[in-house]
Structure 1
Amino acid sequence: MATRKKSWERWGDEEVSALLSICSEDETQQLRLKPGHNSKVYERYSVKLRELGIFHDASACRDKMKKLKQDYKKTKDHNNKWGNDQKSSKWYDRLDALLGHRPAFSGTASTTDSGTLVWEAAETKDSVACELYDDDEAPQPKLEYQWREMEWTEEQKVSLMKTISSYRPSCHEGTQARVLLLGPVGSGKSSFISSVQSVFNGRVTNRAMVGTSSTSFTKKLQSFNIHGQKGEDPTGLVLCDIVGLGGGEMTGLTLHDVLSVIKGHAPEGQKFSPDQPVGCETVGYIKKPGLKDKIHCVAFVVDASKIRTYPKGLGTTFRLLRKHISDLDIHQVALLTQIDLICPETAKDVTQVYKSRIIQDMMNKAGDLLGMSTSYVVPVKNYSSELDLNVNNDVLLLRAVDHILQYADLYFQDNAPQHTGPKIDLGV
């Protein structure tokens, strides 16, 4: 007959192995992912272990899993930072199979001699995308009230569409607001463009080509005029897509090229290569760009499901970009994509987005990564696998566009020609 063990006694290897096996069971995993069920999870672990003749109470199971996750995260962080000095541990592979199921980039940011804004990174199965919150640290999933005011109605959708469709720059010299989307490979830049156009088309379409690979699908500078509803004139908004940051040394963006696009020197369709920077000899180079050639607002795009696993050097890259862009007096905002992957409640009902503590926490982390206030960050859910539009999702997308246009228009207000009035002949 098995001897009952006290919860404070050390765990044997066979006991830890049994605990991890139970944890990996599908039914247990599903229960684990439900907010507010932590106590039930560990009670279940304890019961299942007892059936195997292993006696540890729920508290002991919780403490052991917490310690295993901490050790795993410590090893994982080391491996992500020091690619050539990989470490492991007794339970690393078992925990990686359980927790490290989603690939992400690992490595550090660097700027090559040519100024390429890339990461020395590779996709690896060892990358951790799970949040690895300790149970007592995990943000509570839901707030009682929305922390940003939102109206989720068909009327609000129609109102936002009219506002965006009728938008024209406040400066008469500008006819459209050009917004550059900047972000890591796979962050959802092209998907955002297609999603916004889908709302105006009344059906899901892929206007900007979207890929799923780890390398940037977008290879060149492309400008997309957002068309209004059928029979209407194009809106006053142009969304500009460009190769993703971290696309590799041969396809990556340089700071010089990013600034050339923003200043209006880079021609439409320009392909970017670190060894061929945009310059006077570039075919189609715009020597004296007008207001219509320049970028009037920059929207950084980051993936909520990868915020915690982006390379540490990415923050440095973003801050470098923001400094130079700010020197050009260009306002910047941020889009947080893939919010449905980090919050099950929002995945089921997007109206819960501003009640979710998880998303609120991730928006704060996105602001920290970019070096900007959370007030500039807006969450969006792009259309990906859906075939039909959803009113609530449309409202969230349109609010993001309205947010972008407010900051784009500040550029026109700041750069409006100063009229000093007619000259007066004093007769002297």
Structure 2
Amino acid sequence: MFTFAGSGATNTSKLTEKQRKQLSGLLGNVELTLLYKASVHGYNASAFHQRCDRQGPTLLVAYNNSGYIFGGYTSVEYAQSGQHIRDEEAFLFSFQGNNPVCINVRSGCNARLDNTGGPNFGQKLYFCYNNQPIVYDQSGQIHDNAFTFSPATLYGNNTQLTECEVYKVEQRSSLSKPQVSIKEKPWRNVLWTAERRDELMKMIRNHKPLITSVSRVRILMIGPVGAGKSSFFNSINSIFMSRMTSKAMSGSAGTSLTTQFRTYPVKDGREGKPLPFVLCDTMGLEEQSGAGLDIEDISSILQGHVPDRYKFNPTAPFQPDEQKASKPASLQEKIHCVVYVIDATKISLMSDKLEEKLAAIRRKVNSLGIAQIVLMTKVDEACSLVEEDLQSLYVSSYIKTKVQEVSSRLGVSVSCVLPVKNYSQELELELNCDVLLLTALQQMLNFSDDYLDDVDPV
């Protein structure tokens, strides 16, 4: 149960423990502390600001007399600045049945207006409007489309509130230092040693695909925008170059930085020979139609029809040359392993549309018998324990639950979900990162062998 931050009030949150955990799960490894309860402090804006200003990220939860529980999150604190706030992490949510469903802010739009009034989202949805227990929705009256939602779905078209609560959202890393028992048994075994890193590098260098007509296995990276596909290539390239590299464009833009189909061979050092694999990078998946990578493009890539540097067109799928399309691509040109790249901090925020896209891709990949793996990135951002010490990865119960969630959502075995940390802001290579990344790459080569072992080379 919740009590108010900084007070002896006995009033507690209306959220059940299950709902609290579900909302916490949307935001990663966080703690929720109740700051403001309208039925206690009043529905007026001054009471809201008195308790919620300068408190950091906050989560608003509203309840209406139709039984709807809905609200929104902002990572930018309230300050009555009078400014329009850009907040790429902001979202609205509504419990649909037993689960909260998210509506993310559209990239480049103002998430809210930080004024002296009550809390608002996208200047569309005002809570405790005019100091009354109501929601004011003007989504049909303005052109700002920061949040696209149906009033019937979000709050059942019922604007009368029975309660409005605001919670302070704190990452657990900024709270008490996590403790792990030395005796705690890891749920996967990893040797975090320089010898193991060297052994993995040797195994990868010496890998020979099972079929002689295939000189290098082709590994296709698929995933949402910003999940870390290009960063994974840069990280693997950095390890074998023994220095930080950034050959593939990577970053945190709202839309995909990769606009071409790229095939990236990796050399064993600056003057070294090419290693026995090629990492194929694609445009990021986006939930709306007409944006991001098209499923038909993926089908063409899997079957080896798409050339390196082909520029994607989200509104028109790839059309192979008629002469080439009439004959199948060689086994060397086809994809031998598909890797889904998923951001560990955004698994719970994955929309139904994106999940449906991934399911459609999986069905296509399954029909071709291609091996599949999930790379779960940004594990350090998802769990403070892992951020402090990467070797804690496989004793983290939080990361274990995220691995299980990915397994369930994507329909793959838990053993096929590989947590990693890509290089992003580091200037030097780090042993623990190397071991995780190389272990994942070795598994991709093993899975490619499984595929090649099962195909007819003729």
Q: TM-score, normalised by structure 2?
A: 0.65
1:151-230 to 2 correspondences below 5 Å = 151-230=191-270
Tell me how far 1:73 sits from its aligned partner.
7.5
Tell me how far 1:283 sits from its aligned partner.
11
Which digits, 9 at most, give the CA deviation of each residue in 1:141-177, with x for residues without a partner?
Answer: 7570211110000000000001111112011111011
Instruction: State the partner residue of 1:39.
Output: none
1:341 corresponds to 2:325: no
User: Matches of 1:286 and 1:105 in 2, distance apart?
Assistant: 48
CA contact (8 A) 2:57 2:170 kept: no
**Which amino acid in the other structure matches residue 98 of structure 1?**
T
CA contact (8 A) 1:69 1:132 kept: no
Instruction: State the partner residue of 1:273.
Output: 313
* More helix per residue: 1
Instruction: State the partner residue of 1:232.
Output: 272
**Which amino acid in the other structure matches residue 381 of structure 2?**
L
CA contact (8 A) 1:107 1:120 kept: yes
1:255 corresponds to 2:204: no
User: Matches of 2:91 and 2:364 in 1, distance apart?
Assistant: 26
Instruction: State the partner residue of 2:399.
Output: 359
* More strand per residue: 2
Which digits, 9 at most, give the CA deviation of each residue in 1:28-58, with x for residues without a partner?
Answer: xxxxxxxxxxxxxxxxx4xxx2xxxxx33xx
CA contact (8 A) 2:218 2:278 kept: yes
Instruction: State the partner residue of 1:98.
Output: 58
Tell me which of 122, 125, 138 is aligned to 2:106. Answer: 122
- Structure 1's 359 and 65: CA in aligned 2 closer, same or farther, altered over 3 A? farther
Question: Identity percentage over the alignment?
Answer: 31
The higher relative CO (CA closer than 8 Å, separation ≥ 6) is in 1
Tell me which of 334, 341, 347 is aligned to 1:301. Answer: 341
User: Matches of 1:268 and 1:287 in 2, distance apart?
Assistant: 19
CA contact (8 A) 1:146 1:354 kept: yes
Alpha-carbon RMSD: 3.8
Unmatched 5+ stretches in structure 2? 27-37, 60-72, 76-86, 94-102, 112-120, 122-146, 148-167, 173-177
**Aligned residue pairs: how many?**
339
- SS of match in other structure, 1:64: coil
User: Matches of 2:203 and 2:336 in 1, distance apart?
Assistant: 19
User: Matches of 1:96 and 1:67 in 2, distance apart?
Assistant: 24
- Structure 1's 69 and 363: CA in aligned 2 closer, same or farther, altered over 3 A? closer
1:390 corresponds to 2:430: yes
User: Matches of 1:276 and 1:369 in 2, distance apart?
Assistant: 29
Unmatched 5+ stretches in structure 1? 1-7, 24-44, 50-54, 78-88, 109-118, 135-139, 419-428
User: Matches of 1:211 and 1:339 in 2, distance apart?
Assistant: 17
Moved more, 408-417 or 330-339: 408-417
User: Matches of 2:425 and 2:390 in 1, distance apart?
Assistant: 15
1:64 corresponds to 2:13: yes
Tell me how far 1:106 sits from its aligned partner.
6.2
Tell me how far 1:417 sits from its aligned partner.
3.9
Tell me which of 371, 381, 385 is aligned to 1:331. Answer: 371
- SS of match in other structure, 1:308: coil
Instruction: State the partner residue of 2:304.
Output: 264
- SS of match in other structure, 2:277: strand
CA contact (8 A) 1:165 1:236 kept: yes
- Structure 1's 324 and 290: CA in aligned 2 closer, same or farther, altered over 3 A? same
**Which amino acid in the other structure matches residue 298 of structure 2?**
V
Q: TM-score, normalised by structure 1?
A: 0.70
- Structure 1's 286 and 300: CA in aligned 2 closer, same or farther, altered over 3 A? farther
- SS of match in other structure, 1:181: strand
1:11-160 to 2 correspondences below 5 Å = 19=4, 23=5, 45=6, 49=7, 55-56=8-9, 60=10, 63-64=12-13, 70=19, 94=52, 97-99=57-59, 100=73, 101=75, 103-104=88-89, 122-123=106-107, 125=111, 142=180, 144-160=184-200
CA contact (8 A) 2:209 2:217 kept: yes
Which digits, 9 at most, give the CA deviation of each residue in 1:245-283, with x for residues without a partner?
Answer: 007655422221110000011111112224332224589
Which digits, 9 at most, give the CA deviation of each residue in 1:266-310, with x for residues without a partner?
Answer: 111112224332224589979531112111110000000111111
- Structure 1's 414 and 261: CA in aligned 2 closer, same or farther, altered over 3 A? same
**Which amino acid in the other structure matches residue 423 of structure 2?**
Y
Instruction: State the partner residue of 2:114.
Output: none
Which digits, 9 at most, give the CA deviation of each residue in 1:46-90, with x for residues without a partner?
Answer: xxx2xxxxx33xxx47x439669958988x99xxxxxxxxxxx85
Tell me how far 1:243 sits from its aligned partner.
0.3
